[in-house]
Amino acid sequence: MNIPPVIRDAQASDEIAWRQLWAGYNRFYEATVPPDVTRRTWERLLDATNPLFCRVAEKAGEVIGFTNNVLHEGTWVAEPICYLEDLFVTPEARGGGVGRALIRDLVDLGRKQGWSRLYWHTRENNPARKLYDEFVKADDFVRYRMDL
């Protein structure tokens, strides 16, 4: 029997596990995040006054996945919007419903808290798109990004 993971807010005691998952996430995207930014990101994720927040998936006492999210205002809606910025599940736990549980958690949380929408981006060739398409089909928007 496949026992679903527990999804909860990240806690200070999750830092080591989160950092390991964060490193794996950055390897997956072939990205390098400076240590001071990683430290500051973790601090902001735990700060209840900050719009960033983290939800973790835990199974048998082990953190095996996370979502890093940004709750923000919008100009076309009155209610908050949630941007799921980062989602990562350990390779060993993939295919076991953890990613699905993490997204479902945000859907449920958003409905409970009155968010207007939840959105995320991914690479065109990300194998997780099969899962994402179960929730909603990708739209036709093109992303432009300029580093400053």
Give tens-digit pLDDT for 46-88. 999 999 999 999 999 999 999 999 999 999 999 999 999 999 9
Query: What pTM does this model have?
Result: 0.93
Integer angstrom CA distances of residue 147 from 105, 107, 126, 144: 31, 30, 23, 10
Average predicted confidence (pLDDT) for the chain: 95
Q: What is the pLDDT of residue 144?
A: 84
- Distance CA(102)–CA(37), nearest Å, equals 24
User: SS3 of 33, please?
Assistant: coil
Q: What is the pLDDT of residue 10?
A: 98
